[in-house]
Amino acid sequence: MKTLIEHLRVLNYTLRRLLLTPNATLLNILIIGIALSLPVGGYVLLKSVQSLGSQIAGTPQISVFLTIGTGTGDIERIGDKLKQHTAIKRIEFVSREVALKKLQQSTGMAEVIGGLSQNPLPDAFIVYPKEGNLKAMEALRDELNTWQHFEHVQLDSAWVHKLEALLDFGRTAVAILAALLSFALIAITFNTIRLQILTRREEIEVAKLIGATDAFIRRPFLYFGLTQGLLGGIAAWLLVAISLQLLNHQVGTLTQLYASNFSLQHLSFGDSLTLMGFAAYLGWLGAWFSVSQHLWQIEPR
């Protein structure tokens, strides 16, 4: 209980010190917020692009073409086996006759196709996997390729490869940006705490002279860095939320022209907590580095 009261006292002292220099505090918080909002905004954009890609591409599917001459009994057995497969959500059977009629209607080549002596198209199954990620669909395709009576198994994955490549590039870019800005924020806190230590040098010397431990002296600086980082994380969340609100208004006007309901996704509750916790940690880390380097240099004279 005594330790909790001590921590609360230090936290109250830290907040009062922040309010003593409102201009500098606000500027530091704003810098941290802007810096953090850049990678967070990129993360939100990637999530929205992934969602949009799924809407455009529709439900992923695998086309299975049967060998010409496969009997009705074999087709029924294959259909039952596909329905029982744990990785398959549902299937559709497209007979060669139905496929020929669709081809005639879609290409406008009714006369040419009608002049054929026999139907060249095979029977086929359209398979809808339960898992929509690329690795799971490729594994299912490779497995179906080993089944009997299957002439060709085609995964409609060109869009999946392109989307995955785009998202991987985006994730790498956001990760690099986040790492660089994290170091920058640690440096900002490091310098802020260094200036505070130099300003309070005589106060620290007196505290050491009367027996204050390094942990006791270090605690207010660590709380200062943590609090400043947390406030910067809140500022970043507000900047991203306001930006998304403004952009969604414009996106809504655009998507109405294309009869779409796409919108940029806001940060989830879990993502918001992660952002603020990470920002607070960066502030604490910068303060810890600064105190560790400069505090030991101050000794009572």
Q: What is the 3-state secondary structure (H, E, C) of 114-165?
A: HCCCCCCCCCEEEEEECCCCHHHHHHHHHHHCCCCCEEEEEECCHHHHHHHH
- Averaged pLDDT, 63-84: 87
Distance, in Å, from the CA atom of 232 to the CA atom of 227, rounded to the nearest integer, reads 8
Of 178-187, 211-220, 292-301, the range with the highest mean pLDDT is 178-187
Q: What is the DSSP-derived secondary structure letter of residue 275?
A: H
For residue 235, pLDDT beyond 90:
yes
CA distance 222 to 281: 10
Percent of all residues in the chain with a pLDDT value above 90, rounded to a whole number: 12
CA distance to 66, 93, 113, 117, per residue, from 104 (Å): 21, 19, 7, 15
Confidence of residue 47 (pLDDT cuts 50, 70, 90): confident
What is the per-residue pLDDT for 260?
Answer: 57
pTM for the predicted model, two decimal places: 0.65
Highest average pLDDT, of 69-83, 148-162, 247-261, comes from 69-83
* Maximum Cα–Cα distance across the chain: 107
Q: Which residue has the higher pLDDT, 84 or 52?
A: 84
Q: Which residues pair with residue 155 across a beta bridge?
A: 62
Q: Which of 228, 229, 216, 214 is closest to 294 using CA atoms?
A: 214
Paired with 154 in beta bridges are 63
CA–CA gap between residue 242 and residue 66 (Å, rounded): 54
Mean pLDDT, residues 38-59 taken together:
74
Tokens of 180: 């660089």
With a cut of 60, say whether residue 100 has pLDDT above it.
Answer: yes
Between 95-99, 186-190, 235-239, 272-276, the lowest mean confidence (pLDDT) is in 95-99
92 in helix, strand or coil? strand
Q: How far, rounded to the nearest angstrom, does the alpha carbon of residue 200 sit from its chain's CA centroid? A: 42
Q: Which residues contact 228 (CB under 8 A, 6 or more apart)?
A: 18, 25, 28, 29, 32, 189, 192, 283
Answer yes or no: is pLDDT of 262 > 70: no
**Amino acid 292: pLDDT:** 83
Contact 46, 171 (CB under 8 A): yes
For the residues 168-176, what does the mean pLDDT come to?
A: 88
pLDDT of residue 232: 92
> Is the C-alpha dihedral spanning 285, 286, 288, 292 positive or negative?
positive
What is the set of domains in the chain, with CATH numbers?
Answer: 2-56+161-297 (no CATH), 61-156 (3.30.70.3040)
Q: Give the pLDDT confidence score for residue 179 in this predicted structure.
A: 92
* Chain mean pLDDT for the chain: 79
Residue with tokens 């359209």: 126
Query: What is the structure's pLDDT at 268?
Result: 86
Query: With 60 as the cut, is the pLDDT of residue 297 above it?
Result: yes
86 has pLDDT over 60: yes
User: What is the structure's pLDDT at 92?
Assistant: 87
Tell me: pLDDT of 55 over 70.
no
Q: Taking the alpha carbons of 281, 286, 292, 296 in that order, is the dihedral positive or negative?
A: negative
Q: Give the residue, 224 or 259, on which the prediction is more confident.
A: 224
Kindly give, in sequence order, each residue whose CB lies less than 8 Å from that of residue 13, ignoring residues fewer than 6 positions away: 220, 223
Q: What's the confidence (pLDDT) of residue 112?
A: 56
Q: Which range is least confidently modeled, 10-24, 105-119, 245-259?
A: 105-119
Token pair of 186, please? 């640690």
Of residues 63 and 158, more confidently modeled: 63
User: Over 60: is that where the pLDDT of 226 sits?
Assistant: yes
Residue 108 Rama label (left phi>0; alpha psi -120 to 50; beta) = left
Cα separation, 124 vs 190, in Å, equals 65
Q: How are strands ordered across the β-sheet holding 62-66?
A: 88-94, 124-129, 62-66, 150-155
Averaging pLDDT over each range in 9-13, 118-122, 252-256, which range is the top one?
118-122
**pLDDT computed for residue 48 by the predictor:** 77
Please check whether residue 275 is in contact with residue 237, taking contact to mean a CB–CB distance below 8 angstroms: yes
Measured CA to CA, the distance from residue 261 to residue 46 in angstroms comes to: 17
